[in-house]
Structure 1
Amino acid sequence: MSELPLEPERHEDAEALLVLDGRLELEVEQIVVSVGAGELYLVPAGAVHAVRPGSSGTLVVLERESS
């Protein structure tokens, strides 16, 4: 993760975000969420979400592959 924000997005399936180190600052459906190292956050299917400024560290994104 860099410290730059990303544009809002939405996915058909849920998306799991695992922070290995650092901190992930998210906005999910207009609610601010902070996820720390070792924490997992599940973005519900169809939820509009975006990475907010100030996020930094290593993030693993787990999502279902489209067929």
Structure 2
Amino acid sequence: MSLYDLRIEAQALPQAWHSQVLGHIGDTNLKVLRMDERSIIEEIHEYDEGLLVIDGCLELRVGGKKISLTSGQLYVAKAGVPHTVEIGSFGTLVIIDLPET
């Protein structure tokens, strides 16, 4: 088993909004990234995506609805549902890719 300090891992990344895979649990990817205040264009995935805020906040728009997450909160973006990161997000985010089983 490996021990990670998620904040340190995110801060060491060369760019914000570019994730690094920390490992795999079965077919599930566990990734970390550093957020900054820029918005990110709409994404749609073929799998559910768990978005876990470690510190800071994540500002999402899903189906025209604004969703704000803070430290310790998890949002699952469902497969096929477009989601956009809004201006104002910052901190450390863990992404859990959840392929269908």
Q: Same fold (TM over 0.5)?
A: yes
Q: What RMSD, in angstroms, separates the aligned Cα atoms of the two structures?
A: 1.0
Q: Decide which structure has greater helix share.
A: 2
Corresponding position of 2:48: 14
CA distance in 2, matches of 1:16, 1:39: 10
Q: Deviations over 1:19-40 (max 9, x none)?
A: 0000000001211100110011
Q: Which runs of 4+ in 1 moved over 4 A?
A: none
Equivalent residues of 2:50, 2:98 under 8 A apart? no
CA distance in 1, matches of 2:66, 2:98: 24
**TM-score scaled by length of structure 2:** 0.62
3-state SS of paired residue (1:4): coil
Corresponding position of 2:86: 52
**TM-score scaled by length of structure 1:** 0.91
In the alignment, structure 2 segments of 5+ residues that lack a partner are 1-34
- Kindly indicate whether structure 1 or structure 2 has the higher relative contact order, using CA contacts under 8 Å at least 6 residues apart: 1
CA distance in 2, matches of 1:46, 1:21: 27
- Within the alignment, does 1:63 sit opposite 2:80 as a pair? no
3-state SS of paired residue (1:8): strand
